[in-house]
Chain A
């Protein structure tokens, strides 16, 4: 049963993509660690961390594709799940600082000392333990998605209304996390991390492992997503996207189907956020900005929604472009992004991978039709009777 579920996931394209991702995950850190800095093959640490960040964004886009591309839920709040996963990781990293902070308090992070707090708030307990923090990386975004989805899907909020309330959700969290008395570092967020599991977050070796973990988690989530969409459940999911009432009248509980997918997707986004934070060295409320969630939609659309691999490519390309533009011509990046979205919507509505796949499929259909035509000439009676 389970093996069938996993086996189905490993369709050709997915195997190739996972192979490439894992190859990159090993090759890049190897070139960073094993080649001398003056070698032509050397990849500097900043570049590795930058690309590691793209891999986290790719995982976020993959998560969005599961709900948007396959289930038709256009979430404009996926950045919130990403940020929550990031905060869970950030809290662990803060607790690891110990007495090495500016104020030297062995328990309280600097910002709490600064606020004159005397003890650790209850929700910070346990975060000094890595396993607990990693569970929270999944549980916190998952729980928010569950509660949100429970109400939204049960009351059948759909389409643009759902998109608007997801946007409101991330905006509300943005405002909440800005407040100092929330206990998450307010405006400045969480930063000045020292080490993770005892290894310095600045060290090349740690960066290399984090990079590999990003590639690995992206691969595993890609396999999971592929297993989901290729199962009967995945076919139901597409049914919900294309003809929700048909699915209901066939006896499926659409609200449960959406809820499950939304929660799985939020957890993937949480993992992405957790891997992002140690590589960029900071998490602040800016990650909840509504515009961030909208950017994820752009990456997904550019790569091709409903293709799983497309959003990964889209996230890497668009963010690569962003790094280039913001370096070379910072003032035009937002215009370039806007223009890109408009062009994709107008000229490439299926996105990059979607367009290639569609072209391939039509060619196959054309060939099949030609074959059928030949078959019909050979035995006209059967085929025509069946028509």
Chain B
């Protein structure tokens, strides 16, 4: 009991004993998972381990059957919906890159900007100089300044992934959840994405789900391995990848 209250004190995100079943199939099975402020964490695990479902629970898309999900130690995320949770400061990149294809890169970022999101505030919004320089800054970070007027539909797969990461930055989240950001990227793009994520993690907490072990090594952070909806092992990449259970369940396959 004592140890739990201690972990709870400094956690940004706290999941304890979370269970979710879809038609009787336990996608998440008494999962416990803690992220500290400023932490960059990698999550690995076989397909169907429940990684995406875990993100669904944190962001309010899926309600857990049982368990505790707390943000900043006090806010119960299971009582909130997607928009509330996004406004609290949790951003999410989907597994499949999801940007607004019929808008330009610039407009995508403008929409994501952390400004008042009400109907009338957006109807009468005009781009302020601060917002303009903030967007330019993000364009710089995601290396897309030269493509700012391009329709997002015309971007390559890797560029869409970056644009989506840029949109999350514009949202100024405290916690960023990134689902398989380098899937379908070239090696060069993968390496650049690792640099980008490390840079982003300097100012906020980031959870990255990835299959690509090379990429995980490049990140060089604490790793959590999920399987069948619960944590199999947690620690450094070398520790986790030498764990016999992890080898049997994931790496060995």
Contacts and interface: CB of A to CB of B under 8 A. Distances in A.
26 contacts: A2-B124, A5-B124, A231-B122, A231-B123, A232-B110, A233-B123, A235-B107, A235-B111, A239-B100, A242-B102, A246-B99, A248-B81, A248-B86, A249-B59, A249-B82, A249-B86, A250-B86, A250-B111, A250-B117, A251-B86, A251-B117, A252-B117, A253-B117, A254-B83, A257-B119, A260-B119
Nearest to A375: B146
A236 interface: yes
Nearest to B173: A251
Interface string B74-114: 00000001110011000110100011111100010011101
Residue among A228, A238, A245, A251 with max Cβ neighbours from chain B (10 Å): A251
B124 A239 contact: no
Interface string A104-115: 000000000000
B143 interface: yes
Interface in A192-238: 228, 231-233, 235-236, 238
Contacts of A182: none
Contacts of B99: 243, 246
A232 B125 contact: yes
A327 interface: no
A5 B119 CA distance: 13
Interface residues of B, number: 35
B193 interface: no
A181 to B, nearest CB: 39
A232 B94 CA distance: 23
Contacts of B112: 250
A236 B112 CA distance: 10
B124 A1 contact: yes
A383 B146 contact: yes
Contacts of A386: 143, 145-146
B18 to A, nearest CB: 20
Contact of A243 (B98, B143, B171): B98
Contacts of A383: 146
A365 B124 CA distance: 30
A245 B60 CA distance: 11
B102 A238 contact: yes
B111 A239 contact: yes
Interface string A138-168: 0000000000000000000000000000000
Contacts of B59: 249
Contact of B110 (A235, A246, A253, A257): A235
A250 B171 contact: yes
Interface of B: 59, 61, 81-83, 86-87, 91-92, 94, 98-103, 107, 110-112, 114, 117-119, 122-126, 143, 145-146, 154, 167, 171
Nearest to B123: A233
Contact of B100 (A1, A2, A246): A246
Interface residues of A, number: 29
Nearest to B146: A386
Interface of A: 1-2, 4-5, 228, 231-233, 235-236, 238-239, 242-243, 245-246, 248-254, 256-257, 260, 365, 383, 386
B179 to A, nearest CB: 11
B99 to A, nearest CB: 7
A383 B146 CA distance: 8
Residue among B100, B110, B167, B171 with max Cβ neighbours from chain A (10 Å): B100
A135 to B, nearest CB: 22
Contacts of A236: 111, 122
A238 B81 CA distance: 22
Contacts of B94: 245-246, 249
Contact of A251 (B83, B98, B126): B83
A243 B163 CA distance: 15
B236 to A, nearest CB: 31
Contacts of A239: 100, 103, 111
Residue among A1, A2, A238, A249 with max Cβ neighbours from chain B (10 Å): A249
Given A248-B86, A249-B82, A386-B146, A233 B110 contact: no
Contacts of A235: 100, 103, 107, 110-111
A-B pairs, 5 with minimum CB distance: A251-B86, A233-B122, A232-B125, A248-B82, A233-B123
A260 B120 CA distance: 10
Contacts of B92: 249
Contacts of B124: 1-2, 4-5, 231
Given A246-B100, A248-B83, A256 B171 contact: no
